[in-house]
Structure 1
């Protein structure tokens, strides 16, 4: 009887180990499959990227930034060409975008520190006017926020994912490659130093 009980205990332990190994292997396979679904590039430094058509490369450095004429969240009319002579950080964002919300406080901090040197413009990406106004009313953001409800400006700039940011010099020329993904305060500081 003792031998049967010992044998049964050993068998149960082995079955338990087998079940734990199978569950662990399934978790590992699921994790690998999920991570491959979201990061097919293999580049671990990419944030906020998507696979997009070739025409989505946007405006390249050296090109004149297309003019923008939109109503801002505060009800004023915004026109990008009126900012000639100033450096401009031109950001595209959305209220439903977690990386956008992550970078917005840093953008406000940057704007507060450098508003005499550089304008911060955050164009809302294809959302209903009132939704954007409600979001802004519940926030502390004081930089200009034009609303591109129909997506015309976003399409012209080749914006297929948010956040996307362009850096424009005093001459109205895009001077750095666009940044796709959230920015840090330090990154904005670095870009400010590269613009003329």
Structure 2
């Protein structure tokens, strides 16, 4: 009888917890499964980006700089992959180069359309740089239609594999 009370109490507590967890929200963060933190920025052409406006579409966000060879190369390879494979996804790139001329020349040489290319000349002092903890290295994020991070630091091969799984 004594144990019956304990089992009953534990059962009620577990039942209550199961109802509350289904209504909990995904927390904002920078890891897979987290809700992507808000990202608002303007590009040189005056185009404003607010990731909130891209909900309903898969988005690849790439943080890079021309002075960082690895992030620059990944940005170009991912852009070329998306152009070649015609995946239904928007790629947004944010460069942390301090020179607008370097940024523009790099885009021109790389043959990248500047519609979703953004420059943050504040570099490591930028709010975006700090929010995404980019002092640990530049990264890219694949975000689903609801704004949840699906994957980080994708190579073109990783991106194709994930997107092909989605279409099957």
Q: Per the shorter chain, which TM-score range?
A: 0.5 to 0.7
Quote the offset at 1:91 in angstroms: 1.0
TM-score of the pair, normalised by structure 2: 0.67
Matches for 1:1-196 after TM superposition, within 5 Å: 59-113=30-84, 117-125=88-96, 127-142=98-113, 144-150=116-122, 151-176=126-151, 178-179=152-153, 183-193=154-164
Looking at CA atoms only, which structure, 1 or 2, has the larger radius of gyration?
A: 1
C-alpha spacing 1:128/1:152, structure 2 compared with 1 (3 Å): farther
TM-score of the pair, normalised by structure 1: 0.59
Provide the C-alpha distance between the structure 2 equivalents of 1:145 and 1:62, rounded to a whole number of angstroms: 25
CA RMSD of superposed structures (Å) = 2.5
Asked whether the equivalents of residues 90 and 120 of structure 1 are also in contact (C-alpha less than 8 Å), the reply is yes
The gaps in structure 2 that reach 5 residues or longer are 1-28
Provide the C-alpha distance between the structure 2 equivalents of 1:195 and 1:59, rounded to a whole number of angstroms: 22
C-alpha spacing 1:162/1:127, structure 2 compared with 1 (3 Å): farther
- The aligned counterpart of 1:32 is none
Provide the C-alpha distance between the structure 1 equivalents of 2:118 and 2:54, rounded to a whole number of angstroms: 14
Count of residues in Structure 1 that have an aligned counterpart in Structure 2: 135
Asked whether the equivalents of residues 41 and 49 of structure 2 are also in contact (C-alpha less than 8 Å), the reply is yes
Quote the offset at 1:90 in angstroms: 1.0
Quote the offset at 1:186 in angstroms: 1.1
Provide the C-alpha distance between the structure 2 equivalents of 1:163 and 1:92, rounded to a whole number of angstroms: 6
Provide the C-alpha distance between the structure 1 equivalents of 2:78 and 2:87, rounded to a whole number of angstroms: 14
The gaps in structure 1 that reach 5 residues or longer are 1-57
